Amino acid sequence: MAMTNAAAPRFAIRTRTPVSTIAAVCCVVLVVVLAALPFFAGRSVMQNMFFILTMLSLAQFWNLLAGYSGLISVGQQAFVGLGAYLLFAWTILGGVDPVLAIVLSGAIAALVALPTSFLVFRLKGAYFAVGTWVVAEVFRLILAQVKILGGGTGTALPKEATNDAAFVQWIVQMTGERAAVARDKADYWLALILAIGAIGLVYGLLRSRRGLALAAIRDNEAASGSVGVDATRMKRLVYVVSAFGAGMTGALIYLAKARISPDAAFSLIDWTAFVFFIVIIGGIATIEGPIVGVLIFWLIQNELSSFGSVYLMLLGALAIIVMLFFPKGVWGTLAERFDLHLFPIRRSLEFASAAGDPKSSPAVEEEISHD
């Protein structure tokens, strides 16, 4: 429109809400507390937290893929396993520092995801899901052939990559603890950075204009094309970013485990089914959902894992019940009832504050009409 007056903008975007400001402050406090946790918590807490944080990272990236982009993959273990094996390759064969190796492993997983996307994107819906699973199986079978990384039986990390790693030794010098204890702390801090990074990356993507494009594609893919959104390119971006995240998380998980085998690294149950459960229970297509979901999952696993395989049946039954009666998950249901959004992405149009009377704001006028 020709009459745009650059000197006095009449309109403004608002995304922040009072609740989200409070949530942001709480987040900062929580991050500080979590960062300081190793100084006053024991080893078992570290190990539990490591599990929670790494599963949370996987859940955030799977949620980006399935929840926000409609790409229901059941093959993210392809990139978890690939990242894990790449970590072993970098450290064992290349002598690379494990912390650097985690990032490199994620980057290569993303590079591999790019050509893979051209293959699996030929498939839609359920076929896409099956296709991603097949890809994961192919990766598993290929890595089982790599004799130098242990072939079908797997291999272990050398001491240089675990207790003697630079990061661990630095903690040993700072705190004077045994290397095994320091390693748990190192793994925990890395997992914390990864989880914060995962949330930050996903939230940043949704807050950017690409987030709008993803929502438009989800609502009406054909119409999104007619307003200039390249749906395939957006989905490819999400697929590659998710592979990057899954690859780094896989690398970190197996840095902590220090022992790898193809069957474990490419496990459908561990790296996709559980993640699926976490996201569904917590609330798909919300940032908060996976956080709530991973805590519920951890509680259930702690309480029920002694029941053996019955525990998996209970987990499955619970997921089905939630899908039937609370399809938006625990957080999604709460968020809807109380209009609660800790990580808001809704952009509201307002009159710029200079215009004066806040009553004239379209936002104020219509705020309650989200019917």
Torsion angle, CA of 90/91/92/93, rounded to 10 degrees? Answer: 40
- Decide whether 218 or 341 has the Cβ nearer to another protein: 218
In 184-223, which positions are buried (b, 16+ CB within 10 angstroms) versus exposed (e)? bbbbbbbbbbbbbebbebbbebbeeebbebbebbeeeeee
Using alpha carbons only, how large is the chain's radius of gyration in Å? 22
CB neighbours of residue 137 within 10 Å: 14
- Decide whether 26 or 363 has the Cβ nearer to another protein: 363
Shortest spacing between CB 335 and another protein, in angstroms: 14
Burial of 86: CB neighbours in 10 Å, binned 0-12, 13-18, 19+: buried
Shortest spacing between CB 9 and another protein, in angstroms: 6
Residues sharing a CB contact under 8 Å with residue 152, sequence separation 6 or more, in sequence order = 144, 261, 262
Asked whether the beta carbons of 20 and 335 are under 8 A apart, the reply is: no
Burial of 314: CB neighbours in 10 Å, binned 0-12, 13-18, 19+: middle
- Decide whether 141 or 223 has the Cβ nearer to another protein: 223
- Decide whether 75 or 283 has the Cβ nearer to another protein: 283
- Decide whether 48 or 232 has the Cβ nearer to another protein: 232
Shortest spacing between CB 345 and another protein, in angstroms: 9
- Decide whether 173 or 220 has the Cβ nearer to another protein: 220
Q: By three-state DSSP, how is residue 155 classified? A: strand
Shortest spacing between CB 66 and another protein, in angstroms: 16
Residues that bind another protein in the complex, under the rule CB under 8 A: 1-5, 9-13, 209, 212-213, 215-216, 218-220, 222-231, 346-349, 362-363, 365-367, 369-371
- Decide whether 220 or 305 has the Cβ nearer to another protein: 220
Q: By three-state DSSP, how is residue 11 classified? A: strand
Shortest spacing between CB 218 and another protein, in angstroms: 7
Calculate ∠ Cα 224-366-9, nearest 5°. 70
Shortest spacing between CB 333 and another protein, in angstroms: 17
Question: Is residue 348 within a helix (H) or strand (E), and if so which, with residue range?
Answer: strand 348-351
- Decide whether 11 or 127 has the Cβ nearer to another protein: 11
Q: By three-state DSSP, how is residue 230 classified? A: coil
Shortest spacing between CB 222 and another protein, in angstroms: 6
Shortest spacing between CB 211 and another protein, in angstroms: 9
Asked whether the beta carbons of 110 and 242 are under 8 A apart, the reply is: no
